[in-house]
């Protein structure tokens, strides 16, 4: 995919601008706190309609402004014009594709095929399980299979069941939500596990290629299976297991006032082998191993887009090599070239840091949010 044009209206500190991107991409050079990351955030917003930095929509409006608007023209296998805006006073988000407002935002997801690489990606490895579940939710929501609908229905059923538990509602009132929880939760768990299984070998290959030696394993641990029990690969089996575990945990749930089993408690695991044991990279990995695993996960996300959508993804590199040693940086750049990167939009504080594709990328400058092509 190729982002051809981007129209900005009061997003963060970027003011009112219209940008025309070269097909191969661009390197945006500027000192810190000038708006480089804001630009990548704006582009990725048109992919997912949310901030990759975790900011709320209201925080994305410029100071003294109540509305922001973005519009992008994308060329590729499925050309499209995507626009999005948010009104802070009315708390309303509007998303359109090719001029028609999307009745459901989920129907407009994933039009750019963009992947963000950032130094903060190390949190995918070091932070709590909810960060990795969020990564899976985003990847699967942007790449089809009805995941986003199943996740939404699961969350609604979970919220209703938890509300009944907190209110000490009668058992039938609690159990009324179990069927929806099981049906949609089984789908969520099955698709998460299937993605992890499909891509674990690719992830490990990337890790070895980046580090030059270390291998990091990737696995999905479901809260429904204990210890060494074998995960049920069939969605129906997952549902049966979920129903059984809900029954087992009913007294605990009533006592705690919350649902204690389900995909909202699952985990994506990064492991390293040591003396026949699999140790969590989060706890036992070195800084280099953690950064390697995070980069490999982003490369795996890009590979998912490439296979699912049959197009090279747009790579958004936010000073992505800042915390890597020279060897890892060179190996990552080599991998990106080999995989087929498509358009690259990268940011760097100085010219010498814009290493990917070297002089072949056009240089833009940014100062106080204003971009000079």
Find out whether 284 and 272 touch, Cβ atoms under 8 Å. Answer: yes
Tokens of 263: 């995909």
Find out whether 323 and 137 touch, Cβ atoms under 8 Å. Answer: no
Integer Cα distance of 174 and 370 in angstroms: 54
Confidence of residue 293 (pLDDT cuts 50, 70, 90): very high
| Tens digit of each residue's pLDDT (9 = 90 or more) over 270-284 | 999 887 788 899 999
Question: How many helices (H) and strands (E) in the chain?
Answer: 11, 15
CB proximity list for 245: less than 8 A, separation 6 or greater: 223, 224, 261
| Tens digit of each residue's pLDDT (9 = 90 or more) over 85-142 | 999 999 999 999 999 999 899 999 999 999 999 989 999 999 999 999 999 999 999 9
Find out whether 366 and 39 touch, Cβ atoms under 8 Å. Answer: yes
Give the 3-state secondary structure of residue 340: coil
DSSP bridge partners of 270: 218
Q: In 3-state terms, the chain is what percent helix, strand and coil (to 5)? A: 45, 25, 30
Please tell me the predicted confidence (pLDDT) of residue 246: 94
Overall average pLDDT of the 251-278 stretch: 92
Count the neighbouring beta carbons within 10 Å of the beta carbon of residue 54: 11
Please tell me the predicted confidence (pLDDT) of residue 94: 97
Tokens of 304: 């998912």
Confidence of residue 358 (pLDDT cuts 50, 70, 90): low
Confidence of residue 234 (pLDDT cuts 50, 70, 90): confident
E strand intervals along the chain: 2-9, 16-20, 25-29, 67-75, 80-87, 92-97, 100-101, 114-117, 217-221, 267-274, 277-280, 314-318, 344-348, 362-367, 370-372
Q: Is 298 exposed, middle or buried (CB count within 10 Å of its CB: 0-12, 13-18, 19+)?
A: buried
| Tens digit of each residue's pLDDT (9 = 90 or more) over 153-182 | 999 999 999 999 999 999 999 999 999 999
pLDDT of 200 above 80: yes
pLDDT of 339 above 80: no
CB proximity list for 64: less than 8 A, separation 6 or greater: none
Give percent of the chain above pLDDT 90.
Answer: 75
Integer Cα distance of 346 and 149 in angstroms: 33
Please tell me the predicted confidence (pLDDT) of residue 276: 74
Give the 3-state secondary structure of residue 170: coil
Integer Cα distance of 5 and 2 in angstroms: 9
């Amino acid at each position: 995919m190729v982002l051809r044009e981007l129209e900005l209206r009061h997003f963060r500190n970027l003011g009112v601008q219209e940008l025309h991107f070269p097909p191969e991409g661009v390197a945006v050079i500027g000192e810190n706190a000038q708006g480089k990351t804001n630009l990548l955030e704006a582009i990725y917003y048109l992919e997912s309609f949310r901030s990759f930095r975790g900011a709320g929509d209201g925080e994305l409006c410029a100071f003294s402004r109540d509305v922001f608007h973005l519009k992008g023209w994308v060329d590729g296998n499925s050309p499209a014009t995507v626009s999005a805006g948010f009104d802070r006073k009315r708390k309303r988000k509007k998303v359109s594709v090719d001029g028609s407002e999307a009745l459901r935002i989920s129907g407009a997801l994933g039009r750019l095929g963009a992947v963000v690489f950032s130094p903060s990606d190390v949190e995918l490895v070091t932070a709590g399980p909810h960060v990795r579940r969020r990564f899976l939710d985003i990847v699967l929501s942007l790449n089809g299979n009805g995941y986003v609908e199943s996740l939404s229905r699961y969350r609604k059923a979970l919220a209703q069941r938890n509300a009944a538990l907190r209110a000490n509602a009668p058992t039938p009132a609690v159990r009324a939500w179990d069927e929806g929880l099981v049906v949609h939760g089984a789908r969520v768990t099955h698709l998460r596990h299937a993605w992890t299984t499909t891509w674990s070998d690719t992830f490990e290959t990337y890790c070895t290629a980046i580090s030059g030696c270390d291998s990091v394993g990737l696995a999905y641990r479901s809260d429904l299976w204990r210890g060494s029990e074998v995960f049920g690969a069939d969605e129906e089996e997952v549902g049966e297991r979920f129903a059984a575990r809900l029954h087992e945990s009913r007294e605990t749930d009533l006592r705690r006032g919350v649902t204690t089993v389900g995909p909202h408690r699952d985990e994506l695991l990064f492991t390293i082998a040591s003396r026949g044991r699999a140790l969590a990279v989060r706890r036992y990995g070195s800084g280099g191993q953690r950064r390697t695993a995070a980069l490999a996960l982003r490369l795996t996300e890009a590979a998912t887009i490439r296979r699912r959508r049959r197009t090279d993804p747009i790579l958004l590199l936010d000073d992505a090599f800042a915390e890597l040693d020279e060897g890892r940086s060179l190996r990552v750049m080599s991998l990106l070239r080999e995989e087929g990167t498509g358009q690259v939009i990268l940011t760097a504080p100085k010219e010498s840091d814009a290493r990917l594709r070297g002089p072949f990328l056009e240089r833009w400058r940014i100062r106080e949010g204003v971009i000079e092509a």
